């Protein structure tokens, strides 16, 4: 009798274990990985700090979040200064950069870029009352100009070698301020960012030059550490799905960038 009771108890325990396992979420066995995402607080509409929620928002945040849904990973978006994005990536403080960072040959020597998420070029700002006609960088020969530190535009301006001085700034807002104050003749920055900020009343003392033709036309991509083919392939597969199912286009439309 005692032996029978023990056997019955063993069966009951086994059944209870099976029920408990069946009730356990699948995530407990195969949890989705979480990637630390580097983004900036001053790159609206790509990435920016939403003061109401205290979180980083923007087109590239929506894009990497959607990529996570497509690729089966979670995202932890972290605020970085633009110039610290690549150093933070290479030192493994973050896993992916999702910001207004153009793909360049120099950067490709240090990091790897995904397939294109969005394409654009630089914009030119001058004083609002400046009636000059500027179609290229050459039209500002001999002047003091500025651009955001760490961007491809700084390299392009220095390579030209025609300016009195090329100053660097931490943000587009800082560039606008110095243009408005006459400290620099003109400023260069991400055209969509400048357009968005001016459309939303960032600085009425400067204007975006409509006739200017960008010299640095590039692609915005997700960025991973050099040689991280696993993450890169995961992101590229997600981008393909986003383009195929129309979700990337929906994101661009949301931010008036389509």
Q: What is the pLDDT of residue 258?
A: 74
pLDDT of residue 107: 95
CATH pick for 122-208 out of 1.20.1090.10, 3.40.718.10, 3.40.190.10, 3.30.2130.10: 3.40.190.10
What is the reported pTM?
Answer: 0.71
Tell me if 29-119+219-254 shares its fold with 122-208: yes
Residue with tokens 């945040």: 61
Please state the domain extents for the chain. Answer: 29-119+219-254, 122-208
CB atoms within 10 A of CB 226: 12
Closest listed residue to residue 86, CA positions, set 74, 97, 76: 97
Q: What's the mean per-residue pLDDT of the chain?
A: 90
Give CA–CA dist 215/121, Å, rounded. Answer: 7
Which two tokens mark 37? 């995402």
Q: Is residue 97 within 8 Å of residue 84, measured between CB atoms?
A: no
Does residue 78 register a pLDDT over 90? Answer: yes
Q: What is the β-pairing status of strands 34-39 and 96-97? A: parallel
Instruction: Reply yes or no on whether the pLDDT at 30 is more than 90.
Output: no
pLDDT tens string 180-231: 999 999 999 989 889 999 999 999 999 999 999 999 988 999 999 999 999 9
**Crossing angle between the packed helical segments 229-245 and 59-71, to the nearest 10 degrees:** 100
End-to-end alpha carbon distance in the chain: 77
Q: Please write the tens of the pLDDT for every residue from 82-114.
A: 999 999 999 999 999 999 998 989 999 999 999
- Residue 45 contacts by C-beta under 8 Å, 6 or more apart in sequence? 58, 59, 192, 193, 196, 255, 256, 257
CATH 3.40.190.10 for domain 29-119+219-254: yes
Q: Is residue 1 pLDDT above 90, yes or no?
A: no
The pLDDT value recorded for residue 2 is: 46
Tell me, what DSSP letter sits at residue 221? Answer: E
Question: If residue 224 lies in a helix (H) or strand (E), which one and from where to where?
Answer: strand 218-225
């Amino acid at each position: 009798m005692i032996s029978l009771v023990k056997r019955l108890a063993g069966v009951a325990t086994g059944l209870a274990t099976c029920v408990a396992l069946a009730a356990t979420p699948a995530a407990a066995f195969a949890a989705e990985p979480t990637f630390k995402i580097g983004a900036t607080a001053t790159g609206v509409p790509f990435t920016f700090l939403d003061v109401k929620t205290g979180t980083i928002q923007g087109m590239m945040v929506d894009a990497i979040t959607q990529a996570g849904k497509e690729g089966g990973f979670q995202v932890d978006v972290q605020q970085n200064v633009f110039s610290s994005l690549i150093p933070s990536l290479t030192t493994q403080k973050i896993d992916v950069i999702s910001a207004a960072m153009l793909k360049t040959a120099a950067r490709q020597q240090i990091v790897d870029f995904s397939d294109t998420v969005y394409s654009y070029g630089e914009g030119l700002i001058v004083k609002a009352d400046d009636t000059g006609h500027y179609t290229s960088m050459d039209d500002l020969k001999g002047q003091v100009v500025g651009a955001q530190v760490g961007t491809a535009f700084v390299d392009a301006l220095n390579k030209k070698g025609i300016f009195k001085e090329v100053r660097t700034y931490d943000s587009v807002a800082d560039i606008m301020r110095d243009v408005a104050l006459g400290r620099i003749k003109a400023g260069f920055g991400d055209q969509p960012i400048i357009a968005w900020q001016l459309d939303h009343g960032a600085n009425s003392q400067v204007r975006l030059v409509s006739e200017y033709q960008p010299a640095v036309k590039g692609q915005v991509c997700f960025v991973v550490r050099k040689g991280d083919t696993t993450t890169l392939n995961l992101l590229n597969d997600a981008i393909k799905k986003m383009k195929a199912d129309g979700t990337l286009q929906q994101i661009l439309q949301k931010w008036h960038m389509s």
